[in-house]
Amino acid sequence: MGKVIPLAAQILFGALFLLTVPSDCVATGDAVEGRNKAQPCLTCHRKGNVVLGEKTPIISGQYQDYLVKSLSDYRSGARKHQVMNELTANLSDKDIEDISAYYSGLKSRLSNSNHDNN
Ligand code: HEC
């Protein structure tokens, strides 16, 4: 019986640990602000799997840190694409984090998009 409480305590602390760790790993960014800031982007990068053309990547549901990296690289010119370079030139770090938080939180239906996988 004496061992029951320590075990329960271990489970409890284990659960708390699991609950607290992810929040330390998640990138920051305000998805609500990001939604406003992303309005010009939605012309091309629409929600879900609706795309303008096959050369416009779907970014809904993409990992947030990937989006932050891509946008930072376009802004610095490390990644070259005229349209994206111009569109990111005036974004702040906070803008990039917010927009990335917004897009990464959108549902991606990439896995059942136009691939014929029936
Ligand atoms: C005029 C259409 C257009 C607009 C507007 C636009 N993009 Fe893009 N975006 C593109 C195209 C085309 C590419 C592919 C560029 C390349 O080949 O590197 C791209 C690439 C990207 C990528 C890289 C995706 C990947 O899979 O690597 C991200 C992230 C992105 N755009 C975010 C944004 C954000 C955020 C905005 C608003 C600030 C925005 N885009 C506005 C057309 C657009």
Is there a domain that residue 65 lies in? yes
Whether the pLDDT of residue 12 is over 70: the answer is: no
Q: 92 and 24 in contact (C-beta within 8 Å)?
A: no
Supply the residue whose CA is at minimum distance from atom 14 of ligand 1.
Answer: 56
Is there a domain that residue 77 lies in? yes
Q: 55 and 92 in contact (C-beta within 8 Å)?
A: no
Structural domain boundaries, residue 65: 28-110
pLDDT tens per residue, range 70-92 = 999 999 999 999 999 999 999 99
Pull the structure tokens for residue 117: 């996988």
Is there a domain that residue 38 lies in? yes
What's the CA angle centered on 73, arms 67 and 107, to 5 degrees? 10
Is there a domain that residue 115 lies in? no
Is there a domain that residue 5 lies in? no
Residues with CB under 6 A from ligand 1: 38, 40-41, 43-45, 55-57, 59, 67, 70-71, 81, 83-84, 87, 99
Looking at residue 13, the DSSP 8-state letter turns out to be H
Is there a domain that residue 95 lies in? yes
Is there a domain that residue 62 lies in? yes
Supply the residue whose CA is at minimum distance from atom 31 of ligand 1.
Answer: 84
How many distinct structural domains can be found in the chain? Answer: 1
pLDDT tens per residue, range 27-62 = 689 999 999 999 999 988 887 656 666 678 889 999
Is there a domain that residue 15 lies in? no
This prediction has a pTM of 0.78
